[in-house]
A and B are shown apart, each in its own frame.
Chain A
């Protein structure tokens, strides 16, 4: 089962939820935690995993064999990303613009283009007290997170409970991470910013056809902004985590809520039970 944890707005508590959920169910389930926020991966700060392997993520970029190239310019014409320019006696390749689609090498009439790997980031894996841990890390200065996220997701094992921590926003890195999840937990806060971005996140998961439930973080009693919206949209609120200085303090120190206040483990285990219940119901109706 794949459960992704996303949010729209940043800093609402995805990392808190993903790590505490993993810890709260690890005694009963085989859990994988995969940090797909490859621009700013943070789960390792809370789980302190022992990293045992590291794989470089590369995308294939073109390399020109000048013994064969006749500077016809076909490669530049077929490149949708303007990553190739052919000038007299030279082919300029702008690696940073290349998506690695392979069109240039396949379509070169002289067979003069081969491909070589360009490093975009790494995927690291290891273990954190019984949780199988995987994280991606985009190299600083690189623009494209998606190839790294793809490699992280390739480590998902179908017989595990895979929890995916997703980056904020609603654009391609989020879609890449959430797509094909069985369930998406959306973490929000009861502020106008939180609600505005939650609406966008809900629209995103709906387009992806992934069922979702909400966790309200920094909940304030009497503030019903998010609950009202969820009721109106028919989206379940699975948990409220209160605005609490002690919880904020734990987070600031890098301590998960499930470990710093173990009484919360039952609440996260209940979130997991609600997800299983919702998916069971869904499969029965399908």
Chain B
């Protein structure tokens, strides 16, 4: 079984539109949406939820006002500046439990935190595992790990050959959690100064975690010069460019209708995405 994760560094480069197309093009696969704080893949795949589970992770400190003697030790020692006027900010508390251990009158307890939900759903393209991190919650990395673990379990049970994972933007905790142990990272970039800069950082992350990257330049014709610059950068670093997708309003129309563009169009973007999937499939088979 092989897993490809779609990442980008910069947000809004087209990860989800492309992952949605892969869902339609690939056979024998499970799907995972690892962008757990702004998941959008379901808007293209129209899943029917089969199973919904609570995701409990981490703890939050809670001060019992009636027992508190206002000694101030917790405020003084909290490294996260999470306690003001003897009240805990649930946004700042990182759940370390230090305050609860040192409170001289045991007025602080640590309470388990429900950080979100994860779902197993049916789509017309196959099973999808996705999740919703609660607003302002931490531990997105752990929820991502849960989504990938469930997708892998389904793929094993069903004998699927491929897992397609839509990743989050950035290079931090949820990205690392989406990437580690995958067989291939498809990095979707765009020919802009930010696209180039952010691609460089996410390539480094792939190196760090030893996952081979391949690149797709989306909206490649909005700036041909920047596009060539990306291709040269990839060539110099021994990274393949698996696809170049031209700017095509058919992609926006498809999103507006809630379908992957390859399902409703044969224009330039849809054709290039089909080629891109063939390249990714062949890279996956040799990874």
* A binding-site residues for B, Cβ under 8 Å: 7-12, 15, 39-40, 42, 45-46, 60, 78, 80-81, 99-103, 106-107, 138, 140-145, 167-176, 179, 191-193, 196-197, 200, 203-204, 207-208, 245, 248-249, 251-254
Contacts and interface: CB of A to CB of B under 8 A. Distances in A.
Interface in B91-118: 91-92, 94-98, 101-102
Contact of B96 (A42, A99, A203, A248): A99
A9 B35 CA distance: 10
Contacts of B37: 169-171, 174, 200
Interface-centre pick from A100, A167, A251 (highest chain B CB count, 10 A) = A251
Interface string B202-215: 00110011000000
B169 A168 contact: yes
A169 B174 CA distance: 11
A143 B135 contact: no
B94 A101 contact: yes
A107 B138 contact: no
B102 to A, nearest CB: 7
B172 interface: yes
B38 A253 contact: no
A31 to B, nearest CB: 21
Interface-centre pick from A11, A46, A143, A191 (highest chain B CB count, 10 A) = A11
Contacts of A169: 37-38, 168-170
Contacts of B256: 191-192
A72 to B, nearest CB: 15
B136 A40 contact: no
B34 interface: no
B226 interface: yes
A193 B252 CA distance: 10
B223 interface: yes
Interface in B7-66: 8-13, 16, 36-38, 40, 43, 59
B97 A171 contact: no
Contacts of A200: 37-38, 135
A170 B201 CA distance: 22
A204 B132 CA distance: 14
A101 B96 contact: yes
Nearest to B205: A140
Contact of B172 (A173, A175, A253): A173
B231 to A, nearest CB: 15
Contact of A192 (B11, B192, B258): B258
Contacts of A107: 101-102
A103 B78 CA distance: 9
A138 B172 contact: yes
Interface in B120-169: 133, 135-138, 140-141, 168-169
29 contacts: A40-B170, A40-B171, A42-B10, A80-B59, A80-B95, A80-B96, A99-B94, A99-B96, A100-B79, A101-B96, A102-B77, A141-B176, A141-B208, A143-B172, A167-B170, A170-B135, A171-B36, A171-B136, A172-B138, A176-B92, A191-B256, A192-B255, A200-B135, A204-B135, A207-B136, A208-B91, A245-B222, A252-B190, A253-B192
Contact of A45 (B59, B136, B170, B194): B194
A68 B95 CA distance: 28
Contacts of A179: 91-92
B193 A252 contact: yes
Contacts of A80: 59, 95-97
Contacts of B137: 171-172
Contacts of B209: 141
Contacts of B233: none
B87 interface: no
B135 A203 contact: yes
A168 B53 CA distance: 25
A252 B222 contact: yes
A204 B134 CA distance: 10
Nearest to B80: A101
A45 B91 contact: no
A49 to B, nearest CB: 15
Given A10-B169, A101-B96, A197 B38 contact: yes
B98 A101 contact: yes
Interface in B205-239: 205, 208-209, 222-223, 226
Given A10-B10, A39-B172, A193-B43, 20 more contacts: A9-B11, A10-B8, A40-B194, A140-B204, A141-B209, A142-B172, A143-B172, A144-B173, A167-B169, A168-B12, A170-B38, A170-B135, A171-B133, A176-B91, A197-B38, A200-B38, A248-B222, A251-B192, A252-B195, A252-B223
Nearest to A198: B38
